[in-house]
Amino acid sequence: MKIVSYNVNGIRAALKKGFLEWLVATDPDVVCLQEIKAQEDQLDLSLFESAGYAYNYWFSAQKKGYSGVAILSKTKPENVVFGTGIESMDFEGRNIRADFSGVSIMSMYLPSGTNIQRLEHKFEYMDLLKIYIDKLKKEIPNLVICGDYNICHEAIDIHDPVRNKNVSGFLPEERAWMTDFLNSGFVDAFRELNKAPHQYSWWSYRANARANNKGWRLDYTLVANPLKEKIKRAVILSEAVHSDHCPVLLELNH
């Protein structure tokens, strides 16, 4: 089972940059999108269907042109859950989950902490998410949580750990939460298979950051421990340039 997670920074903008052609060439079974920045009725769903994703599910933010997540699938899921049922998490369209035989896949877009108010919201979301996932794992142990976590976990995951130590996304509290989240029963699939530095999934549009590979690894495929032995491949697809993020890919023996 091939799963791709991609913060597209606006699905309509990504479509104009060749996203669909790239998707067909990459040929994943399931696609988790974040930051779609669109309502479902603003999209031509036949485009995704013609690309092989007859089953596409969209969970948009209440605010137009902002946030939002989606899951595209070649096969019909057994069940799809829109949001978490927690209003403060769901009004910005940040969680959608599709259950398949033997694996449940979530597309998750964790808030960024761009200012004090947003940082407070981010920490509240992180706390609520942990509680929600702890409960969900008891019911559905075979979870894969894909998405933009807006956190670099370790120094290896960011191009300049010293100068960014007080920047949201690399704060000690955020990193500690990520450690705690992993320790609660998940594996960072990419790091499980790849220990090399200088591998990132987001670059600022400023100062030629991408060309100079001055990036952050913000996008993860976290695999619940019961699925750990099924991890076949986990890579960052940095050649895809439809967004300021690039996709991350996970293959499971399924």
Percentage of the chain with pLDDT > 70? 100
Active-site residue, selected from the candidate residues 27, 41, 90, 148:
148
Query: In whole angstroms, what is the distance from residue 49 CA to residue 58 CA?
Result: 14
Structural domain count of the chain? 1
Query: In whole angstroms, what is the distance from residue 142 CA to residue 228 CA?
Result: 10
Query: In whole angstroms, what is the distance from residue 136 CA to residue 143 CA?
Result: 9
pTM for the model: 0.98
Q: In what order do the strands lie in the sheet with 79-82?
A: 79-82, 95-100, 103-109, 143-148, 219-224, 186-188
Give the model confidence (pLDDT) of 131-183 as tens digits: 999 999 999 999 999 999 999 999 999 999 999 999 999 999 999 999 999 99
Q: Which domain holds residue 127?
A: 2-252
Phi, then psi, of 60 in degrees rounded to 5:
-90, 160
Phi, then psi, of 10 in degrees rounded to 5:
105, 105
**pLDDT tens for the 254 residues of the chain, in order:** 999 999 999 999 999 999 999 999 999 999 999 999 999 999 999 999 999 999 999 999 999 999 999 999 999 999 999 999 999 999 999 999 999 999 999 999 999 999 999 999 999 999 999 999 999 999 999 999 999 999 999 999 999 999 999 999 999 999 999 999 999 999 999 999 999 999 999 999 999 999 999 999 999 999 999 999 999 999 999 999 999 999 999 999 97
The pLDDT score that the predictor gives to residue 129 is: 98
CATH code, 130: 3.60.10.10
Q: Is 244 a catalytic residue?
A: no
